[in-house]
Amino acid sequence: MFQYIVKRILWLFPILLGVSFIVFTIMYLSPGDPVTMVLGEGATPEQHDAMRVQMGLDRSFIEQFFHYIKNVVVEFDLGRSYVSGRVVMDEILVRLPNTIKLSVWSVLFASLIGIPLGVISASRPYSKVDNFVMFLSLVGVSMPTFWQALLLIILFTSTLGWLPASGFDTWQQMIMPVFALASSSIGTIARITRSSMMDVLDQDYIRTAKAKGVNGSKVTFHHALRNALIPVVTVIGLQFGALLGGAVLTETVFSINGIGTLMVNAIRTRDTMIVQGGVLFIAFIFTMVNLCVDILYAYIDPRIKTSYD
């Protein structure tokens, strides 16, 4: 098990390097000049050239990329914002709590709703309840997050006046962002839970337990659900990464001061360092969550732990 964890941690480096290269390349090739964003249109050519040298933009693409990677690996330095001049890590850490809170609450809400719906649906396959749950799941998966967010604002803020349309400090402000971000994950988790549960409920040991007169709910939740959780846990881990990405749109719509809003503003001003640092930081969190999910497998199914040893 220890060797497996070490191996997975070592895989983080090529993954993050690949992410850094892709984002760096996209920002390098994108139109716009960060020097102009910093100095404004009225800067003289001499000021423009001097600022390019100061920012390191006079170097070639390869030189800029390896200089950036060297600072990240050796000094854990994500650079400074071209616009504000502040350290990128400080900018991210200030906004990180809101993004993490939004993503964690969303994945918890999606799991608490999606897993029971999937279990109920699998327990009554092809019934009206099953069809209704699958219909709701399809609707949740199909509706874009930003569109749901706008509909929620129109209904609960503009029309009914029940909930505030921006902020993320009180529980009233958290309701709409969490629901908008979690709704697609609820559908995905419910569908995967249903499929996995139906496979497990067809196993011989489940039929044996029912034949022995074991209580139906005990068979479903104690015997079947635990063995059906492996693909469900995998999906929840992947959904957490998707929610981190979806937080960019959700934070923008609801004016939440998180990493997503920071990155959107940085893209508008072509603040390359902020964009690269934000994507790299989110990718790191995503890979660590996947590592934790893999370790969790061993505690759900002891057979997997044996295969690691």
Query: Which residue is listed with tokens 């480096």?
Result: 13
Q: Which position has the higher pLDDT, 58 or 107?
A: 107
Query: Which residue is listed with tokens 């509909």?
Result: 151
Categorize the per-residue pLDDT at 176 as very low, low, confident or very high, splitting at 50, 70 and 90.
very high
Q: What percentage of the chain exceeds 90 in pLDDT? A: 5
Instruction: State the pLDDT at residue 113.
Output: 92
Report how far apart, in Å, the C-alpha atoms of 105 and of each of 97, 100, 101, 255 are: 12, 8, 6, 17
* Helix locations, 56-170, DSSP H: 61-75, 88-123, 128-142, 145-152
Ordered DSSP codes for 269-286: TT-HHHHHHHHHHHHHHH
Burial class (CB in 10 A: 0-12, 13-18, 19+), 57: middle
Q: Give the pLDDT confidence of 94-124 residue by residue, as tens digits.
A: 888 888 899 899 999 999 999 989 888 888 8
Give the number of residues written for the chain: 309
DSSP symbol at 80:
B
| Residue at 133: amino acid letter | V
Asked whether the predicted pLDDT for residue 64 surpasses 70, the reply is yes
Categorize the per-residue pLDDT at 300 as very low, low, confident or very high, splitting at 50, 70 and 90.
low
